[in-house]
């Protein structure tokens, strides 16, 4: 899965790590829902 609308370069981690589009909550460590093949679900 790939993170959508992730413009924060410091948040681009593994395929199942997401950051919110606004990059304001990067430190919260948003992750995809399991399994890894599922769609990416980033925190609000």
pLDDT tens per residue across all 44 residues of the chain:
455 555 555 555 544 455 544 555 555 555 555 554 445 555 44
Q: What is the pLDDT of residue 17?
A: 52
What long-range pairs does 27-35 form, CB within 8 A, spacing at least 24?
A: 32/1
Domain count, the chain: 1
Q: What is the pLDDT of residue 4?
A: 54
28: containing domain = 1-44
Residue 22, Ramachandran bin (φ over 0: left; ψ between -120 and 50: alpha; else beta): alpha
The model's pTM: 0.19
């Amino acid at each position: 899965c790939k993170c959508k609308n992730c413009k924060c370069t410091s948040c681009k981690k593994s395929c199942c790590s997401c950051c919110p589009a606004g990059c304001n909550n990067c430190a919260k460590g948003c992750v995809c829902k399991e399994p890894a093949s599922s769609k990416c679900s980033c925190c609000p």
